[in-house]
Structure 1
Amino acid sequence: MSFWDTPRHGGNSFNRLPPTQAYFEALHGYGATWVRLSYDKWRPEQRDFLLGDADAYQGLAAADVSQLRQVLDHAHAAGLKVVIAPLSLPGMRWSQNNQGQFDDRLWQDKRYWDQAAAFWGDLADVLKDHPAVAGYNLINEPAPEKQGGLAEHADRQQMRQWYAAQQGGARDLPALYKQIIAAVREVDSVTPIMLDAGWFAAADAFSYWPEPLADQRLLYSVHMYEPYAATSAPNMTRKVPLAYPGTVPFAGREEYWDGQRVAAYLQQSLDWADAVQLPRSRLVVGEFGCMRRLPGCQQYLEDVLAVTDSNALHWAFYSFREDSWDGMDYELGTGKVPWRYWQAIDEGAADPIARKATPAFEPIRRRLQPQAGAPGA
């Protein structure tokens, strides 16, 4: 846990091909100390990577475990710590692996809770001694509220009323975390555990938690893409994209978003931490980003990072050299990627595009602690 006692800065790896040591060396070369690693796009042995089948978990897929351990070896050799971040759990298959459909079963039926706890107990047992592992991020962007009757970005009182009605049921996110943590701690008493807030890790969604959980080796994570109407891919399909800074739709109304509004939104997670006496060293902005081709994206990154700077928060930008989607790959600058990028995806080949530091990447690059030598392409 001492790794997290000082602010740690890194990137997210959501690649379709298992990352190589050179990939991790490039991230470490910029000065990153950790990577938040998702494996759900990799080719699985069965239906779902590691899980075998998210419809009915029966044990880890052995070939997938070997693949994951090899990638962890690469990260360790490159000098990076890793937080494992599944996008799918039993009863909660990631929508992009589920024909674009949100999978709500985990939030309806507690038998999937039992399977999720069994999965994490098994995974912790095989990873607990790996020197690269610095955390288990139990669920990426959980959303028990989505089909549970709570509006996104509801006010604090509405959130607390909703949670009071859900406590003990299948949509009780803190209770699910407690069950999974207990399973992990049966086999691994040491490795830190990272918990995303609800409503897709929204910065305001810890508001209904009455207290932090009892385990002392926990980190609490939010993701920052608000105002999503401006920062996200759908905005770029508009004839005239919404601008940042600018007035955009948010929580059913029009609001002006700039650095001050970004700070006020993120302050909600800080206020919750203060209220429950949680130190800043236990807070993480596990993802943040914006579409690199949006003219205001560089300013947006500056505004988000100004908040993390002033509060000494851990963070990981989204994303580092993603080989299946170029939208938030800031080393690509603000131009379109060439056709061969998409051809490589179609052919299942390695990403052929060289990367370099660009103005779009500068807000992130200059906050990473530089090391000797420049990162390679």
Structure 2
Amino acid sequence: MRSPPLPSLAVASLLALAVASCAPTPWEPTGGDFTPPAEPGPFIHQDGTRLVDGTGAPIVLTGVNLGGWLVWEGWIWGGGWQSQKDMVARLQRLLGPEEAARFVQRVQEEFIREEDIAELARLGFNSVRVPFNHTLLEDDATPFVYKDEGWAVLDRLLEWCEAHRIYVVLDLHAAPGGQSPFYMADPDSTKLWDSTQNQERTVALWRAIAERYRDRQIIAGYDLLNEPSPPNGEALFLLYKRVAAAIREVDPHHLIILEGTSASSDFSMFTRPVTFNQAYSFHMYTWFGDPRREELAKYRALSERHGVPMWNGEFGENSLEMLRSTAEMYVDPANALAGFSFWTWKKVPNNSAHLVGVTADIPQWTKLIKWVESDWNARPTVEEARAGMDQFFEAARLENCDVNAELVSALRVR
């Protein structure tokens, strides 16, 4: 959704004067805020409007998203616009709950492997943003109880990234209830904003993550909510305050990353930073016009006004030339970004340029994923579905994928 029409010139001028007269300042402690540590420790952290590493050297996080792995989006696998729970329900209908659960486990084990992380490093990227569903760690039927097998997935990823020196941004893409009504948030009928318990679960989940990983230097930051769609800006600000306070109780060192509303393009609810050691993250997709320069100027102004870094958490799904020119803007020192994370690392190719394409001929998988998309498509047999899953995981192995050298070059990571 876009912003409503701009007010008249006279009203706009009055608004501009009002904003200028009460311009917010960088974070300062107020009642209930936690005091920053005396030393930042060996972690990536905020230094004014830039990020620096544990030695104090400036660092720009240039990386990719690991979309379609720990939270599902049907189109990434060649299907449609389904949420994870809808896809799981369809697989349960075809195969039964046990086989559907085994497929979930195989996705976690096989869609992204250590070879993917090694290739990211070889290509010159230095970070990954890791979208995850809360259900990786906590089943809705047993709230506040965290799953050992979910922790094992994240632990294994961090070990790979430590081995290959790839920083990690953990991104809660699908909070309890869903922070938006859109498929990528895996929403329920009762959203995050409609339920006190869902909000309490979100706060507790982030506290548990921070407590477990407080000493892991390979984690660059915690991205608290992907593209939230609250009833109003105050609701988002207050929830962020609660989550940040819970994290700071156990982890004073890791960077906290906040996204705005309207697909992470509207930051008007932030009159000041929420916590110390914070960054903002905007997303930018250019499907309707080309507002990139105006949007970047807006984000740069916010960064300077609040004295915090601005990072691009998602962009992509466009032509090679559009992606090339966008990356050029992002690395331009005049825009003063703390980096970017391309969407996404691996997918079944569509009409947009792919970075790593699952390009093998996989007819039985295609039949399965198209039926998962819609009953209008042919229903596979159980045997075809099982064969299709095997085809998909084999085709998704990095050695069987197409790495797009032109797009790697366009992203300007070297």
TM surpasses 0.5 = yes
Are the structure 2 counterparts of residues 20 and 87 from structure 1 closer, same or farther at C-alpha, using a change threshold of 3 Å?
Answer: same
**8 Å Cα contact 2:131-2:173 kept in structure 1:** yes
| Superposition deviation, residue 265 in structure 1 | 2.4
Equivalent residue, structure 1, for 2:280: 220
Counterparts of 1:186 and 1:327, CA distance in 2: 46
TM-score, with structure 2 as normaliser: 0.63
Q: How does 1:59-208 map to 2 (within 5 A)?
A: 59-92=145-178, 95-96=182-183, 105-144=191-230, 148=231, 163=233, 167=234, 172-202=235-265, 205-208=266-269
Q: Please state if 1:23 is matched with 2:116.
A: yes
Q: Please state if 1:13 is matched with 2:66.
A: yes
Counterparts of 2:355 and 2:300, CA distance in 1: 30
Q: Please state if 1:330 is matched with 2:354.
A: yes
Counterparts of 1:212 and 1:75, CA distance in 2: 29
**8 Å Cα contact 1:331-1:361 kept in structure 2:** yes
Counterparts of 1:106 and 1:328, CA distance in 2: 32
**8 Å Cα contact 1:262-1:303 kept in structure 2:** no
Are the structure 2 counterparts of residues 83 and 329 from structure 1 closer, same or farther at C-alpha, using a change threshold of 3 Å?
Answer: farther
Of 313, 316, 331 in structure 2, the residue corresponding to residue 309 of structure 1 is 331
Of 249, 255, 262 in structure 1, the residue corresponding to residue 292 of structure 2 is 262
The gaps in structure 1 that reach 5 residues or longer are 41-46, 149-161, 231-247, 249-256, 292-296, 370-377
Equivalent residue, structure 2, for 1:287: 314
Counterparts of 1:267 and 1:207, CA distance in 2: 15
**8 Å Cα contact 2:300-2:336 kept in structure 1:** no
Counterparts of 2:344 and 2:292, CA distance in 1: 20
Identity percentage over the alignment?
A: 22
**8 Å Cα contact 1:92-1:106 kept in structure 2:** yes
Larger deviation: 172-181 or 125-134? 125-134
Counterparts of 2:409 and 2:364, CA distance in 1: 25
Counterparts of 2:157 and 2:115, CA distance in 1: 11
Are the structure 2 counterparts of residues 65 and 329 from structure 1 closer, same or farther at C-alpha, using a change threshold of 3 Å?
Answer: farther
| Superposition deviation, residue 266 in structure 1 | 2.7
Counterparts of 2:161 and 2:350, CA distance in 1: 22
Which is richer in helix?
2
Equivalent residue, structure 1, for 2:413: 368
**8 Å Cα contact 1:59-1:122 kept in structure 2:** no
Counterparts of 1:38 and 1:97, CA distance in 2: 10
Of 86, 109, 132 in structure 2, the residue corresponding to residue 39 of structure 1 is 132
Are the structure 2 counterparts of residues 10 and 342 from structure 1 closer, same or farther at C-alpha, using a change threshold of 3 Å?
Answer: farther
TM-score, with structure 1 as normaliser: 0.69
Counterparts of 1:262 and 1:209, CA distance in 2: 21
- Secondary structure class of the residue paired with 2:299: helix
| Superposition deviation, residue 343 in structure 1 | 2.8
Q: Deviations over 1:97-126 (max 9, x none)?
A: 88x757662122333222211111111111
Structure 1 vs Structure 2 CA RMSD: 2.9
**8 Å Cα contact 1:21-1:78 kept in structure 2:** no
Counterparts of 1:342 and 1:196, CA distance in 2: 39
Counterparts of 1:318 and 1:122, CA distance in 2: 27
Aligned length: 292
Counterparts of 1:103 and 1:219, CA distance in 2: 31
**8 Å Cα contact 1:263-1:303 kept in structure 2:** no
| Superposition deviation, residue 78 in structure 1 | 1.4
Which amino acid is the alignment partner of residue 221 of structure 1? S
Are the structure 2 counterparts of residues 106 and 363 from structure 1 closer, same or farther at C-alpha, using a change threshold of 3 Å?
Answer: same
**8 Å Cα contact 2:313-2:341 kept in structure 1:** yes
| Superposition deviation, residue 269 in structure 1 | 1.7
**8 Å Cα contact 1:290-1:300 kept in structure 2:** no
Which amino acid is the alignment partner of residue 216 of structure 1? F
